[in-house]
């Protein structure tokens, strides 16, 4: 029989590879968007329409986050994690077979709805396998999965475009790859240590849901009442709305922005847009280790320190600077300042508040509200870029970032500052 450490490591590796695979069937739409606009532009599919399609998907993702978070706490993380993968494969194939607005809308909505199962399942499993003392480090490493998946998708699919593959073939390749990854995760990922005959992990004593028993599950009413009567959770929702809005705008529109402003080809724009998540990986690793060690769990400080300079970077992007180098530098800085702080919201901070009993629900609510912000930003960015230019879009994103910085400051002052003398780390 293998040791607890073996299955803890194997499960973490499976979660990393699995969630990276999710992004093959998610980032492919951003990569293919310039090609789709070129092919269907005479049918009314322009940047505004693609923004509407993407926003509809984000709405489905937000709703799915809440619903699947509740389901994850009820039936277990592994089931929702794997189910989301298989359903996303089917949705991706459906999009590749489509050829018009209606099919695109249906496929994207279906895909994003089922993709919302992935992260909640990952967090639920992680909360069971690891001590709260290591949440920042572990979630920092696991949060690299969505950046790694985004990088691989954009580099690989961008290269396939250069080799002459159509956008339809990109979707078929992505779906087939995710199916193979799901088979690996079926073996590698284990739901919790107790099911393997090992002891349960150490739970955070400051969790909103006190975990007095590993067997008793909290009711839905108890979870929701506890969360929505907590100022810390409300502020977490506000920060999630703002940072997810910025993240989704850059995730979807960056290849198109570089194609138009930096005068890059479609394939090169896709590949160079991977600089944004590369710098985000550095941000996530640094933020995760700093929050657990130097800051002893006071994660809102890093959110504040990221949002303030990011506001000024977005103002610079709104200045409509030309050339190939400057847009690449500024978008890379956004990745560095944004993605580390963002990773806390539906990661370590949700796990801190939700513990083992309510972590999936906390993640679902935090991400659900966040992706409402993402819905607004993806649509509004596309509309402003289409009719007013990219500078208008970046001004709006700068305002959102500044307001998020204020929420982070309030969170620190009212919540984390009061706990500085508590020796729970």
Q: What is the pLDDT tens value at each position of the chain, 425 positions in all?
A: 678 889 999 999 999 999 999 999 998 898 898 899 988 888 888 888 988 898 899 889 889 988 888 888 778 889 999 999 999 999 999 999 987 889 999 999 999 999 999 988 998 899 888 887 777 778 888 988 987 898 888 888 888 888 888 989 999 999 999 999 999 999 999 988 888 888 777 766 667 766 554 556 667 777 788 888 888 899 999 999 999 999 999 988 998 899 988 888 888 888 898 899 889 889 988 887 787 666 666 778 899 999 999 999 999 999 977 788 999 999 999 999 999 899 888 777 887 777 767 777 888 899 889 988 988 898 899 899 989 999 999 999 999 999 999 999 999 888 777 655 554 44
For residue 424, what pLDDT is reported? 46
Name the phi and psi angles at 85, rounded to 5.
-60, -50
Determine the pLDDT at residue 80: 93
Give per-residue burial for 368-402: e unless 16+ CB within 10 Å, then b. Answer: bbbbbbbbbbbbbbbbbbbeeebebbbbbbbebbb
CA distances from 32 to 29, 72, 111, 205 (A): 5, 32, 16, 46
Largest Cα separation within the chain, whole Å, is: 63
Which pLDDT score is estimated for 425? 43
Instruction: Report how far residue 348's alpha carbon sits from residue 354's, in angstroms, rounded to the nearest whole number.
Output: 10
Instruction: Report yes or no: 197 and 377 within 8 Å, Cβ to Cβ.
Output: no
pLDDT of residue 206: 64
Residue 238, H or E segment = helix 231-261
Which residues are CB-neighbours of 62 under 8 A, at least 6 positions away? 116, 367, 368, 369, 370, 371, 372, 374, 375
For the domain spanning 7-191+220-419, the CATH number is: 1.20.1250.20
What is the predicted pLDDT for the residue at 83?
A: 95
Instruction: Look up the pTM and report it.
Output: 0.74
Q: Which residue ranges make up each domain of the chain?
A: 7-191+220-419
């Amino acid at each position: 029989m293998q040791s607890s450490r073996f299955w803890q490591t194997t499960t973490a590796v499976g979660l990393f590879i699995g969630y990276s695979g999710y992004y093959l069937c998610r980032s492919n739409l951003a990569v293919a968007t310039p090609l789709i606009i070129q092919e269907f532009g005479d049918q009314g599919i322009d940047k505004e329409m693609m923004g509407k399609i993407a926003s509809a998907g984000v709405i489905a993702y937000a709703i799915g986050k809440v619903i699947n978070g509740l389901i994850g706490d009820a039936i277990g993380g592994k089931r929702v994690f794997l189910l989301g993968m298989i359903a996303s494969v089917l949705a991706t194939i459906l999009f590749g077979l489509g050829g018009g607005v209606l099919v695109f809308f249906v496929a994207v909505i279906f895909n994003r709805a089922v993709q919302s199962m992935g992260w909640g399942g990952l967090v639920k499993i992680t909360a069971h396998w690891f001590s709260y003392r290591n949440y920042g480090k572990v979630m920092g490493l696991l949060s690299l999965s969505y950046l790694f998946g985004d990088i691989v998708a954009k580099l690989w699919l961008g290269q396939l475009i250069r080799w002459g593959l159509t956008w339809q073939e990109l979707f078929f390749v992505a779906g087939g790859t995710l199916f193979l990854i799901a088979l690996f995760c079926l073996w590698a990922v284990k739901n919790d240590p107790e099911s393997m005959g090992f002891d349960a992990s150490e739970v955070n004593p400051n969790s909103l849901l006190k975990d007095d028993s590993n067997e008793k599950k909290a009711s839905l009413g108890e979870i929701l009442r506890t969360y929505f009567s907590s100022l810390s959770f409300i502020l977490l929702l506000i920060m999630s709305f703002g940072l997810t809005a910025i993240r989704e705008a850059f995730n979807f529109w960056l290849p198109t922005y570089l194609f138009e402003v930096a005068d890059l080809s479609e394939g090169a724009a896709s590949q160079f847009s991977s600089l944004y998540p590369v710098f985000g990986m550095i941000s996530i690793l640094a933020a995760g280790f700093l929050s657990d060690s130097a800051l002893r769990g006071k994660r809102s400080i890093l959110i504040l320190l990221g949002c303030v300079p990011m506001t000024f970077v977005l103002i610079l992007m709104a200045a409509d600077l030309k050339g190939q180098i400057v847009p690449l530098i500024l978008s890379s800085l956004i990745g560095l300042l944004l993605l580390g702080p963002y990773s806390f919201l539906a990661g370590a901070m949700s796990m801190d508040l939700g513990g083992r009993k309510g972590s999936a629900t906390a993640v679902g609510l935090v991400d659900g509200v966040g992706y409402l912000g993402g819905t607004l930003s993806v649509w509004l960015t596309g509309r402003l870029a289409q009719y007013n230019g990219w500078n208008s879009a970046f001004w709006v994103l700068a305002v959102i970032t500044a307001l998020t910085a204020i929420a982070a400051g309030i969170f620190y002052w009212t919540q984390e500052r009061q706990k500085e003398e508590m020796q729970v780390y």
